[in-house]
Every structure is written in structure tokens, then in C-alpha cells.
Amino acid sequence: MSKPSAAARMGTEPLNPLLLSLAIPMMISMLVQALYNVVDSIFVSYVNEAALSAVSLAFPIQNLLIAFAVGTAVGVNAHLSKSLGEGNREEAERAAMNGLFLAVCSALGFLLFGLFGAEAFITSQTSDPLIARYGAEYLTICTVFSIGCCLQCMMEKVLVASGHSTYAMITQMVGALTNIVLDPVMVSTSGSRLIREEAVETMREMLFPLAEIITPNVPETEALTGARIRNTEDMERAAKALQAACGCAVLCKGGHRVNDANDLLCMDGELHWFLGKRVDNPNTHGTGCTLSSAIASNLALGHSLEDSVRRAKEYLTGALEAGLDLGKGSGPVNHMYRFFEKDTE
């Protein structure tokens, strides 16, 4: 007799074993999620007292965001479980799709609040300009990018409803413990300074050691090492020094150089060059973020770090070459170019 599928378990397996098999992975998953909050608070307290106060002021809206995300997901979870238990797969699929739609709608609502209401909410609670600035920045980030929270909660409950709670636990733990790719985001491709000076040391001491790899560009590498980079030898010395100081691999991105776009990976004291040509494209907004995300995606697929960097660089080069001209100013690269490549044969 064949073993019933995970979805069929919801209607056929005895109640007590079913509860145990679903609850224990979820308890571990929630523990990992709770530890995020503890680590966040400890990290923020190292910045200063004003930063911790600012985070506290944003907490009510964060709770409201979690309530929308989790509450909607739990409702979908209940209906989806019931449908699967009854063997009604069509209704289960409809519930899952509607749940994803509702998650996106919730995220859009909080995005609008982040853009137009976050600052007013924080300033209504404090007259301290530093706390108000920290709080507005923090709450804006939390709400504008709430799509991650909403979709994560919904997908987790869909997995649980279909009998795959172990997968939810694995994704929580893998995201917390492995394959962390950190882009320092200190200086943009256009040369703009993106981070305050006092945050650099905190990032160096507390975030870099947790990462599998960090991906600074040339100006960021200069800021982190205090060394001037004028040629490949300078780049190699700086990458080695940064790798030794941070305890993780370093990819020094050469996109700011004039004649080429060669990147240098320093891993376990060894140097690996990734040669690239400069692409004549004024739309380079977000190239660093794209490269880091592509590296993380390839690591998640099981590729080695060196191979992940190579694949990510090839992807970014293709996205730049494909060209995408949206609006005015420096726009984004064409992330979807592989879906629309023309047949050249």
C-alpha cells in the first residue's frame, strides 16, 4: 500500500500524531523567528539609546503588520486544511491563490503608510529630533518592504496546511544560519555616500563575521581598509587585508574602474579574478544589490562560492547588455532579460 501524500494526511492521519508532526517543526520555526527580535534589540542597543527608543516607537505598527500578515495567513490555513481534508483540491488551490493575493494587498497598504504616514506617526510620539529621524527611517523600511513579511507568513501557513511544516522550519533555520551574502551599501555606483560614519564600525564588528561573503565596491573597500586603490596590486592588497580582518570571503567589485569591470574574490587567503568588460549603459541603478542577490541565489542552488560569483557576474553582465530605459535618470538593469532573449540563430 502506497504512503499517503502530505496533503492527504490532513484527512486520513490520526489526530495526535498529526498534531505532533506539524507542531514541533513550527515551534522550532517560531523560536528561530523570536530570536531574530532578541538579536535585533541587542544590535540596535549597541548603536545608542536613541536608536533603541526609536525602534520601540515603531513597535505598534510592526505589531499591526504582523497581525495582518499572520491573521490573514491563519484564515487561509484553516480553509486550505479543511479543503484538503475533504479531498477538494480545486477549492484548496483557490484558497492558496486568494491568500497570496491578500498578502500582496496587505503589503501594498503598509507600503503606502510607509511612504506617507511613517514620519507623522513617529513625530507624534516624540520631540527628540534624533529619535524621530531614527524612528521614521526604521519604520519606513519595515513598512515599505513589508511584502517580505506578508508573503513569508502566507507561504509558511500554506506549507503547514498542506502537511509540509518541516519545510517551513528548514527555511527559517537556513535563512538564519547559512549563505549570508552581505552588500555593505556604503557608497552607491554613482558615488553617493549611503551610510553614516558611526554605523560603519558597528557593521564591521557585528555583521561581517556572520556573513559567508561581503561584496564591497572599490570606494567601499577603500573606506573599510583606509587604503587607496589605484591599480590591481592595490586591489589585491586591500582585499586580503579586509578578508583577514572580517573573517569571511570578500568580493571587491571593480565596476567603478574606468577601463574594465574586473571583480576580485579573496577566499581563505586565495585570490580569484573574474574578468569583465565595461558595458556602455547609463542605467546602472541597483547593480550591486543585483549581484549580491544573484550570488545568494546560486549558493542556495548548491553551487560553490566561486562558481556562484561567476554565475552572478555573468547574469549581471547580461542584464546590463540587454538594456532597459525607464523614465529619467539612472534606471535599473533588465533583470528579466533571460525571459525575453531573442533567437539569434
5-29 residue pLDDT tens = 555 555 566 767 767 766 677 677 6
Any idea what the Cα angle at residue 280 is, between residues 297 and 295, rounded to 5°? 10
In whole angstroms, how far apart are CA 32 and each of 124, 162, 175, 176, 211? 33, 22, 10, 8, 18
By C-alpha distance, which of 341, 306, 303 is closest to 321? 341
Active site residues: 253, 284, 286-289
**Model-level pTM greater than 0.95?**
no
CA distance 158 to 168: 9
With contact defined as beta carbons under 8 Å apart, do 225 and 214 qualify? Answer: no
Return the H-helix or E-strand segment holding 91.
helix 89-116
Query: Which residues fall within 8 angstroms of residue 29, CB to CB, at 6 or more apart?
Result: 156, 165, 168, 169, 172, 173
Residue 162 has, within 13 A of its CA and on its CB side, a CA count of: 15
Chain-centroid distance of CA 22 in Å reads: 27
Where the chain has pLDDT below 70, the residues are: 1-13, 15, 18, 21-23, 26, 29-30, 32-34, 36-37, 39-40, 43, 45-47, 165, 168-178, 187-194, 255-259, 327, 329, 340-345
